[in-house]
Amino acid sequence: MKTRLCASCHQELQNNNEHAIGYIPLDFLKIERPLFCKRCYDIKFHNSINDFEIDVSYKNILQEIKETNSLVILIIDILNYRSILPEYLNTFLETNNSILVINKIDLLPKSIKKEKILSFITNTFSNFKIQKIILTSTMSKLNIPEFIQTIETFRENRDVYLLGATNSGKSSLINEYIKKYTNKTEELIATSFYKNTTIRLISVPLGNNRYLYDTPGFSSNLSFYDFVDLKVFRYIVPSKEIKPIVYQINRSSSLLFGNLLKLDIITEKPLSIVIYMANTIKIKRAKTDLKNETYTNITTNQKEIFPIMKSAPLLSKYSSTKFRINKEKTDIYLHGLGFLTLRNGVDSIIILNTPYEVLIEEVETFI
245 or 204, which is more confident?
Answer: 245
Would you say residue 52 lies in a domain?
no
- Note whether residue 340 is domain-resident: yes
Last residue of a domain, one of 157, 187, 220: 220
Q: Give the residue from 182, 201, 220 where a domain finishes.
A: 220
Q: Is residue 157 a contact partner of residue 142, using CB atoms and an 8 Å limit?
A: no
Asked if residue 164 and residue 131 are part of one domain, the reply reads yes
CA triple 231-234-235, angle to 5 deg: 95
Domain of 29, in residue numbers:
1-46
Averaged pLDDT for residues 295-305: 81
Nearest to 154 by CA among 263, 70, 269, 28: 70
Top pLDDT among 361 and 364 is at 361
CATH of the domain at 171: 3.40.50.300
* 172 and 123 within one domain: yes
- When pLDDT is cut at 50, 70 and 90, the band that residue 194 belongs to is very low
User: Over the stretch 4-33, which tens digit does the pLDDT of each residue have?
Assistant: 888 777 778 999 988 777 889 888 888 888
Question: What span, in angstroms and rounded, lies between the C-alpha atoms of 86 and 78?
Answer: 17
Does residue 4 fall inside a structural domain?
yes
- 51 domain residue, yes or no: no
Are 13 and 86 contained in the same domain?
no
* 131 and 68 housed in the same domain: yes
Report how many domains make up the chain: 3
Residues 2 and 138 in one domain: no
Q: Are 197 and 68 contained in the same domain?
A: yes
Last residue of one domain, picked from the residues 201, 220, 239: 220
> Three-state SS for 293?
helix
Quick one: 29 and 126 in the same domain?
A: no
In terms of domains, do 140 and 10 share one? no
Over residues 84-143, the pLDDT tens digits come to 556 778 888 988 999 999 999 999 999 999 999 999 999 999 999 999 999 999 989 999
212 and 321 housed in the same domain: no
Task: Name residues whose C-beta falls within 8 Å of residue 73's C-beta, 6 or more positions apart in sequence.
Answer: 98, 99, 101, 151, 160, 161, 162, 163
Of 360 and 179, more confident: 360
Query: Which residues are CB-contacts of 283 (< 8 A; sequence separation ≥ 6)?
Result: 245, 255, 256, 257, 275, 305
Average pLDDT of the chain? 86
DSSP summary character for residue 103:
E
Within a domain: residue 100? yes
- Residue 158 sits in the same domain as residue 264: no
Q: CB of 207 within 8 A of CB of 156? A: no
Res 195: pLDDT: 46
My answer on whether 96 and 187 are in the same domain is yes
Q: Going along 176-325, which residue ranges are E strands?
A: 202-207, 210-214, 245-249, 253-257, 261-266, 271-277, 283-286, 319-324
